[in-house]
Every structure is written in structure tokens, then in C-alpha cells.
């Protein structure tokens, strides 16, 4: 079953610590060195060794701790191969589905500007009729797309080359695109394709290419070195982009924890990334999927920390308002809750949802607990693709939060003995969140 979750979400380091595992300076008062060692031990655990790890914790609205270990690039030892390169909290990662939440923040700025309406038929903004052929009289709205209740499905894919019109692949009779059992608003099914539609709609209403639009709406105002197109990253940012790894061959489920790390994505150390094919002929508002609004943002743990602090400050960054507080309240208000029959929880991973964000209410009975023993209810998003495991989790009321980026695992993170003990997360994720929470958030202020 966990293979389905991956589909929708996207040299040994044991013994003496490698110099590349040295922690960055930590800001947490008292216990920081202990936390460094605990996180390093988790990264080196042979049950599920991590290629790289970058974490950041926020307590009471301020960065309390940051740490990184492992390698953003792992050399093979071949002739002409670059040397190993360390990961840091400013290393960029392709953050997989956490990108959806970032895309949603850009969309909410367009909502504030009156460019789009969350409850209007998206057909008007898209310029073509978007309808489930099994429920042709029911409109699909942005609210449906943002809550994974649109009745769209990923079975026939969710990304197409530049120049392919999204309207042509979303034909009413397209197999695998639509649910025949549940209409818009009826049933939660996690759907990447919905964010391809959202990104395309954002292009059409703004007249701007999606990656450039997101820079204008979110990334540049926050002063972030980040982007949805790696070919457009500044040279320094590209040089600091993590390659994603697994100890398994590409696009298979054959793992070898004793074997070499195998690059899965973003391996640009010998050859730089090329822009999406056909980009020079890319018509605005026709197909935004080449930029992957669903999973393609490259950003660092430190950069995500900047986003999280902006949310905790009610939409304000360094004295400038990006989003209104009431807009964020709408975004994080609960929209869907699992009642036993109204959705697919992905093996228990999702029980509650807002607009473009997952919600974890810290209930042991439905395994929505994020830390051992409880105490940390959060909103945010998770990501899983190409070996990358990402977590953006914030308690906005208490202004506490945790960000975790993992550049790959040596074994299947959801197979025994790596499964979580009290949640639908992997065991290493539970351990990371628990030690971060206890030592960086619950720790008494000096």
C-alpha cells in the first residue's frame, strides 16, 4: 500500500563521523550539542540511513535551532567525478509536495487581488469547460482542487511537456482522469493533477509564466534564493542544490541498503539543468505542469523557515505585508475531516485538510500524532519523491514549528522495521520530530 503513497506524494557513513557530518552552529539554548548528536545518530542509523538531513525549529516565532549533516552530492569515485559536498541548512532541495502549500500561498495573493474566486467555476478562468463527464452538471471550484475533492484522478498522469494544452488531456472522456463514483466535493483523494490545473489557472489570470509569477508573488518578496525551474537558479544557488538519492535503482522498488547511493533527481554537478523542452514556445495559461506546481520548488530549510515565520507573523515579513491575516485564517481553516467513508487517507496519513494544507490534530486514536507522547498539533504539508522526504509543520497559534528535509534513504522508509510506531510517518521521521520538539521547542528559555 505504501507504494501508492509514493506515487501520489512523487559509501557508508557508519563508524567514525565523516567531517561532512559536522553540524552548523546551533542557536538552541542548552542541549544543542546533545540534539546535534541525536540527529546525527538518526541519520546514520543503518536501519534507514539518510543521504543528507537539514532541519530547522522555530520557537515562539523565532528560529531556535538549525542543523544539517550528510552530503548534498555523493561522488562515485569515477574519473572526473566531483568530490563529495556537504549539506547545510541553506542547501536547496526539491521539496516535493510541500511545493503545493507554497503554490497555494501564491494563489491566495491572487484571491486577495480579486483575480480568482475560491468558489467560482474554474472553467471561466481556465477558458475551457472543466467537467467530470460522470457529473457534467456539477462545477469544479478552486476549493475543490485545494482540498483534493475535485474528482480528478492521477491515474493517467499529471505532467505534460510545454506546448501540450492541458485542456486536450483533460477531455471529458479521458480515461483515468476522473472518478466515476464520486463527484466534485464528495470524496477526498489526494491528487497531484489538481495543482497542475491550479498553476495553469494562475498563469491565465495573471498573464505570467508560473515560475516567474511565483517569484513575484512569494519568493522575491521574502528574499529567497529558490525557484520552480532549476535552470533559472542563480549560479550559487544551483551549486548548492542537493542531488536526491536512494539505495535502489531508479523507478523500481529494488533496494540494496549495502549498495551505493544512486542519484534519482537533480544531479547537475557534471551537466547543468536545461530549461523545460519547448519553453520558448510555451503559451501562457495553457499548461503550467512543466514547472511542477505540485512538487517542483527548490528551496532550503532556512528558506522554508522564512516562509513559516511570515505565516506566524500573520502574513508580514520584515515589516511588509504579503498576505492579510484573514486570508491566512481562511487558508488554514479546516475544510475536510475524515468520517470513515468520505475519503482515502493514504494508509492513515491524512485525516484533516485545509486549503492546500494537511492538518495533524494530535489525536492518538487516528494516528495524527506527530511527536511521541503528543503535544504538537500542526498544519502544513509533507513531501515524498525521488528519495526526498520533507515536512513543513507549524503550530501557528503557539508560533512553534519544525522543518525537516531528507535527501534520500538507504532502505524503504515505509517497510518494516522502518514504519512509524504511533503515526503513518516513517520511524525516522517520528524520531526526528520528537527530539526536535523536546530539545528545541519545549526547552526552557535561557
Q: What is the pLDDT of residues 153-176, one digit of tens each?
A: 999 999 999 989 999 999 877 778
Task: Provide φ and ψ at 399, rounded to 5°.
Answer: 60, 45
pLDDT of residue 148: 98
pLDDT interval class at 8 (50, 70, 90):
low
pLDDT of residue 172: 73
pLDDT interval class at 6 (50, 70, 90):
low
Which is more confidently placed, 250 or 215? Answer: 215
The mean of the pLDDT values for the chain is 92
pLDDT interval class at 20 (50, 70, 90):
very low
Cα 108 to Cα 352: distance, rounded to the nearest angstrom: 20
Assess whether pLDDT exceeds 50 at residue 222: yes
Lowest mean pLDDT among 17-31, 33-47, 57-71, 412-426: 17-31
Mean pLDDT of the 217-225 span: 98
Which residues, including other chains, have CB under 8 Å from residue 124's CB and lie 6 or more apart? none
Q: Is the torsion defined by CA of 181, 187, 189, 194 positive or negative? A: positive
Assess whether pLDDT exceeds 70 at residue 7: no
Q: How many helices (H) and strands (E) does the chain have?
A: 12, 16
Is 2-97+230-274+295-441 a CATH 3.40.50 domain?
A: no
Beta carbons of 183 and 134 less than 8 angstroms apart? yes
pLDDT of residue 10: 53
Assess whether pLDDT exceeds 80 at residue 4: no
- For residue 393, count CB atoms less than 10 angstroms from its CB and return exposed for 0-12, middle for 13-18, buried for 19 or more: buried
Which is more confidently placed, 18 or 116? Answer: 116
From 296, 249, 309, 292, select the one nearest 66 (Cα to Cα): 309
Q: Check: pTM over 0.75? Answer yes or no.
A: yes
- For 99-150, what is each residue's pLDDT tens digit? 999 999 999 999 999 999 999 999 999 999 999 999 999 999 999 999 999 9
Which residues, including other chains, have CB under 8 Å from residue 209's CB and lie 6 or more apart? 203, 282, 284, 291
pLDDT of residue 253: 83
Strand partners, 246: 262, 409
- In the Cβ-directed half-sphere of 45, how many Cα atoms lie within 13 Å? 19
- For 248-293, what is each residue's pLDDT tens digit? 998 888 999 999 999 999 999 889 999 888 888 789 999 999 999 9
| Residue % of the chain over a pLDDT of 90 | 85
- For residue 304, count CB atoms less than 10 angstroms from its CB and return exposed for 0-12, middle for 13-18, buried for 19 or more: buried
| Cis ω before 259 (30° cut-off from 0) | no
Amino acid at each position: 500500500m505504501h507504494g501508492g503513497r509514493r506515487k501520489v506524494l512523487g559509501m557508508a557513513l557508519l563508524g567514525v563521523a565523516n567531517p561532512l557530518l559536522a553540524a552548523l552552529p546551533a542557536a538552541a539554548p542548552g542541549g544543542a550539542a546533545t540534539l546535534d548528536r541525536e540527529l546525527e545518530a538518526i541519520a546514520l542509523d543503518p536501519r534507514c540511513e539518510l543521504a543528507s538531513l537539514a532541519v530547522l525549529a522555530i520557537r515562539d516565532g523565532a528560529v531556535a535551532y538549525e542543523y544539517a549533516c550528510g552530503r548534498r552530492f555523493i561522488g562515485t569515485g569515477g574519473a572526473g567525478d566531483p568530490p563529495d559536498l556537504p549539506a547545510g541548512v541553506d542547501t536547496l532541495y526539491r521539496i516535493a509536495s510541500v511545493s503545493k502549500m507554497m503554490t497555494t500561498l501564491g494563489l491566495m495573493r491572487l484571491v486577495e487581488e480579486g483575480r480568482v474566486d475560491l468558489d467560482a467555476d474554474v472553467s471561466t478562468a481556465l477558458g475551457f469547460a472543466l467537467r467530470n463527464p460522470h457529473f457534467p452538471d456539477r462545477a469544479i471550484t478552486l476549493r475543490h482542487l485545494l482540498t483534493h475533492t475535485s474528482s480528478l484522478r492521477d491515474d493517467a498522469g499529471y505532467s505534460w511537456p510545454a506546448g501540450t494544452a492541458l485542456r486536450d488531456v483533460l477531455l471529458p472522456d479521458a480515461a483515468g482522469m476522473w472518478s466515476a463514483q464520486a463527484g466534485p466535493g464528495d470524496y477526498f483523494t489526494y491528487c497531484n493533477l489538481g495543482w497542475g490545473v491550479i498553476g495553469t489557472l494562475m498563469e491565465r489570470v495573471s498573464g505570467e509564466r508560473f515560475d516567474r509569477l511565483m517569484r513575484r508573488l512569494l519568493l522575491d518578496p521574502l528574499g529567497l534564493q529558490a525557484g520552480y525551474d532549476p535552470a533559472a537558479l542563480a549560479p550559487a544557488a544551483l551549486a548548492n542544490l542537493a542531488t536526491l538519492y536512494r539505495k535502489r535503482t531508479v523507478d523500481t522498488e529494488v533496494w540494496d541498503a549495502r549498495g551505493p547511493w544512486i542519484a534519482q533527481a537533480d544531479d547537475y554537478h557534471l551537466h547543468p539543468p536545461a530549461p523545460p523542452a519547448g519553453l520558448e514556445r510555451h503559451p501562457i495559461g495553457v499548461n503550467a505542469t512543466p514547472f511542477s506546481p505540485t512538487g517542483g520548488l527548490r528551496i532550503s530549510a532556512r528558506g522554508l523557515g522564512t516562509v513559516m515565520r511570515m505565516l506566524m507573523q500573520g502574513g508580514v515579513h520584515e515589516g511588509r505585508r504579503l498576505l492579510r491575516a484573514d486570508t491566512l485564517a481562511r487558508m488554514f481553516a479546516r475544510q475536510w475531516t475524515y468520517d470513515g467513508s468520505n475519503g482515502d487517507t493514504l494508509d492513515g496519513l491524512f485525516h484533516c485538510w485545509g486549503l492546500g494544507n494537511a492538518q495533524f490534530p494530535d489525536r492518538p486514536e487516528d494516528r495524527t500524532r506527530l511527536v511521541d507522547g503528543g503535544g504538537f498539533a500542526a498544519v502544513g504539508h509533507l513531501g515524498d519523491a525521488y528519495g526526498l522526504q520533507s515536512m513543513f509543520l507549524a503550530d501557528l497559534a503557539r508560533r512553534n514549528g519544525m522543518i525537516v528535509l531528507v535527501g534520500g534513504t538507504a532502505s524503504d522508509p515505509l517497510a518494516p522495521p522502518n514504519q512509524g510506531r504511533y503515526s503513518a510517518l516513517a520511524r525516522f521521521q517520528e524520531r526526528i520530530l520528537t527530539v526536535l520538539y523536546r530539545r528545541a521547542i519545549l526547552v526552557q528559555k535561557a
